[in-house]
């Protein structure tokens, strides 16, 4: 199972490198959206600090949604997904590897970029580190939930829209706890409660989402 996971993970990374523009689209959206808000709202530091946590998390969520609908579309179109499922390998491992590759290509760059752009909002060092920590905990949840949504809507004509409708409501707790932790630090409070809840969500999602996505893949392929 471990060798299958690593093989599929590396395969997805190599395929993404061949389509660099598609891989860079979520990051470009995040950078442009975050950079434009201070220009539109104004240079008032207190206002920027107030909106920064929610803005960063909403932009990260939307950037993740841009590419999540294509998680299985390519393999489904060329028959690779059918062969993987018929080979006898665990569908949960396939779903977990695909979600991990999606996070490495989309979530991890957001974790790195967000603190850099947090300087535009006059965030302090402790707030920036908390923002990076919450995104490190929260973005894998978004990729795992997106994997389930993409599997459920695989092959449907309006699949991209349905993925957003399915995943966004499920992502609300992650959004609330992520922004709450950063806002707590900015208010001089401890973010430990929010981070603990975010970590618990990550554990539950990591344990349940691959099996849910596996069941959805079997249904969609059949």
Instruction: Report how far residue 50's alpha carbon sits from residue 148's, in angstroms, rounded to the nearest whole number.
Output: 33
Q: Which two tokens stand for residue 206?
A: 């990591």
pTM: 0.89
Q: Are 121 and 50 in contact (CB under 8 A)?
A: no
Q: Are 212 and 148 in contact (CB under 8 A)?
A: yes
Q: Is 157 helix (H, G, I), strand (E, B) or coil?
A: coil
Q: Are 138 and 200 in contact (CB under 8 A)?
A: no
Q: 41-81, pLDDT tens digit by residue?
A: 777 778 888 888 888 898 888 888 888 877 887 777 777 78
Q: 164-220, pLDDT tens digit by residue?
A: 888 888 999 999 999 999 888 878 888 899 999 999 999 999 999 999 998 888 887
Kindly write down the DSSP assignment for every residue of 42-71, as one continuous string.
-S-HHHHHHHHHHHHHHHHHHHHHHHHTTT
């Amino acid at each position: 199972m471990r060798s299958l996971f690593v093989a599929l993970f590396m395969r997805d990374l190599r395929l993404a490198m061949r389509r660099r523009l598609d891989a860079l689209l979520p990051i470009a959206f995040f950078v442009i959206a975050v950079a434009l808000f201070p220009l539109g709202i104004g240079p008032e530091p207190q206002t920027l600090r107030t909106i920064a946590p929610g803005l960063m998390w909403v932009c990260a969520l939307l950037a993740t949604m841009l590419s999540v609908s294509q998680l299985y579309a390519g393999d489904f179109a060329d028959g690779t997904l059918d062969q993987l499922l018929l080979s006898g390998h665990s569908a949960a491992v396939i779903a977990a590897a695909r979600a991990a590759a999606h996070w490495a290509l989309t979530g991890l760059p957001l974790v790195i970029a967000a603190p850099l752009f947090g300087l535009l909002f006059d965030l302090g060092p402790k707030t920036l580190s908390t923002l990076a920590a919450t995104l490190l905990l929260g973005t894998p949840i978004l990729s795992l939930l997106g994997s389930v949504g993409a599997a459920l809507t695989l092959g449907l004509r309006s699949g991209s829209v349905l993925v957003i409708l399915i995943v966004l409501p499920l992502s609300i707790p992650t959004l609330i706890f992520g922004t709450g932790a950063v806002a707590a630090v900015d208010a001089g409070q401890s973010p430990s409660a929010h981070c603990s809840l975010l970590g618990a969500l990550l554990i539950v999602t990591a344990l349940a989402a691959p099996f849910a996505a596996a069941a959805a893949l079997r249904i969609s392929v059949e």
